[in-house]
Amino acid sequence: MPRCHILSIITNCAQTLHALRVLRCHGLPGDAVQTVYRAAVGTKLLYGCCAWSGFITASDRKRVDALLRRSKRCGFCPPDLPPFNDLIEAQEDQLFSTINHNPSIYFTTSYHHPQLLHKATTSGTDISWTRTLFRE
């Protein structure tokens, strides 16, 4: 399932890159092309990645990195865009930070599924999570 999902995302993003080339050839300015890229490709790659990223293979990660390199080469994204693994880690950090600092979410420290959280520690009222969901 995750393999089909990531392959479908890569295919869809490659088609979007082609559409961006056509738009650029028809006069769309470079900054607008990058905005469309972030909205179309960036969101497709990162939407839900915290849930499925641990299930994709190393070869699929390389395919995504190749797509990102091609995007950089074409000028659709900034040249300093990090690799896919770094993007996923940033998304996971943001997710757990949001959860940790949301006062409407309450956690009890009595239940921690060993596969979901490696460690949860409390200091006062804050819960500090070590981030790792189903890592390879």
In this prediction, residue 106 carries a pLDDT of 61
In this prediction, residue 118 carries a pLDDT of 44
Q: Which residue has the higher pLDDT, 136 or 57?
A: 57
- The stretch 105-124 carries a mean pLDDT of 50
**Structure tokens belonging to residue 16:** 């979007």
Residue type, 37: Y
In this prediction, residue 122 carries a pLDDT of 47
Q: Which residue has the tokens 């900034």?
A: 78
> Are 22 and 36 a contacting pair, CB within 8 Å?
no
pTM of the full structure: 0.69
Tell me: the pLDDT tens digits for 62-81?
A: 999 999 999 999 999 999 99
Q: Residue 128 — φ and ψ, nearest 5°?
A: -105, 125
2/5 Cα distance (integer angstroms) = 5
Q: Which residue has the tokens 């395919």?
A: 63
The CA-atom distances, in angstroms, between 62 and each of 10, 58, 71, 98 are: 11, 6, 14, 29
The CA-atom distances, in angstroms, between 107 and each of 86, 95, 100, 123, 125 are: 28, 15, 9, 13, 10
pLDDT above 50: residue 59:
yes
Longest dimension (CA), the chain: 59
